[in-house]
Amino acid sequence: MPRTPILLVHGGAWAIPDDMVEAHQRGVSNALSAGYAQLQKGASAVDAVEAAVSVLEDDDTFDAGRGSFLTRDGRVQLDALLMDGGSMRAGGVACVERLRNPIQAARLVLDKSPHVYFVGQGAEEFAQQHGMELIDNGELVLEREQRRLEDAQAKERAGLPDLTFAGDDKSPETAAELASHDTVGAVALDAKGNIAAATSTGGTLNKAPGRVGDSSLIGCGCYADNSSAAVSLTGWGEPIMKLVLGKWAVDRVQLGRSPEQVAPDAMAYLHKRLGGHGGIILLAPDGRFGIAHNTPRMAWGICDAQGPRTGIHL
């Protein structure tokens, strides 16, 4: 019997300022519309998460695609992963600089390659060979982000704390308050009962070129398996990676715990174990879901039989 499709999306978890709330909710709402339209016409969960995340990458509100944070040397460097819980196929790209929509390159890896993961120039060439346009990195760079980078580097020179890379020696609450994490993601359940997950990011402000965060690493910022759940995370990547937090969460769903309980537990574990902060969306193949964050705000949205809802708090 066909399932009622479900789509969840997120647009980052941090202290989203009041004057940015509307843009975040509008972006999340546009992503829900694009992704859910796919599900309503019978497309797969993979199609839905790709469509939703493409919209978020195209929206310069978020740290994904155009408008992302800049590397230390002023470039946009993007990571993305997409995973199909029905087939366990996955596609990831990291450190790409010339692709407008890295999630679409990740989809090409999933569909057309025996490999799972491409980085840098090899990823760009693979995408180009399969029809994607390579653009100039400057097209992804906003003046807003150049100013933000200048500010961060001025603070660095002045010896002020770099909250983007807040470590165990800094208060995670302070870091969560000030550092922004606008990584985007989606999880979906389609009418055939398959689930999928996608996550895309520009990473952290002032990052070293070549740095890869959690978002595009399987089991860290993204994972999907029909025998457990689909998950997408946002937040401070290094602690999420060390805990392989996406897999941690779906494994608990597989053991019988509800996504509604596991999502806040994952955030509590992240904070308790490594002082990390972020947000999570988690969806089981039976339609149960969880949303949680340990930051002041998180941009999230869901669309199911009851229609679309978005929020900035839980």
* Site residues for ligand GLY per CB under 6 A: 181, 183, 201, 203-204, 213-215, 221, 234-235, 237
CB of residue 306 to ligand GLY, shortest distance in Å: 30
Nearer to ligand GLY, 172 or 237 (CB): 237
Contact 49, 190 (CB under 8 A): no
CB of residue 92 to ligand GLY, shortest distance in Å: 13
Nearer to ligand GLY, 203 or 285 (CB): 203
CA 45 to chain centroid? 16
List Cβ neighbours of 246 (8 Å cut-off, separation of 6 or more).
214, 219, 220, 221, 222, 223, 231, 232, 233, 240
CA 148 to chain centroid? 21
CB of residue 31 to ligand GLY, shortest distance in Å: 17
3-state helix, strand, coil in the chain (%, to 5): 40, 25, 40
CB of residue 225 to ligand GLY, shortest distance in Å: 21
Catalytic residue among 183, 199, 201, 204: 183
Contact 290, 261 (CB under 8 A): yes
Rounded CA-CA distance 100/254 in Å is 35
Contact 77, 98 (CB under 8 A): no
Active-site residue 204, yes or no? no
Nearer to ligand GLY, 44 or 295 (CB): 295
Q: Could you tell me the CA-to-CA distances from 154 to 76, 146, 204, 208 in Å, in that order?
A: 19, 12, 16, 16
Nearer to ligand GLY, 86 or 202 (CB): 202
The residues that are catalytic are 183
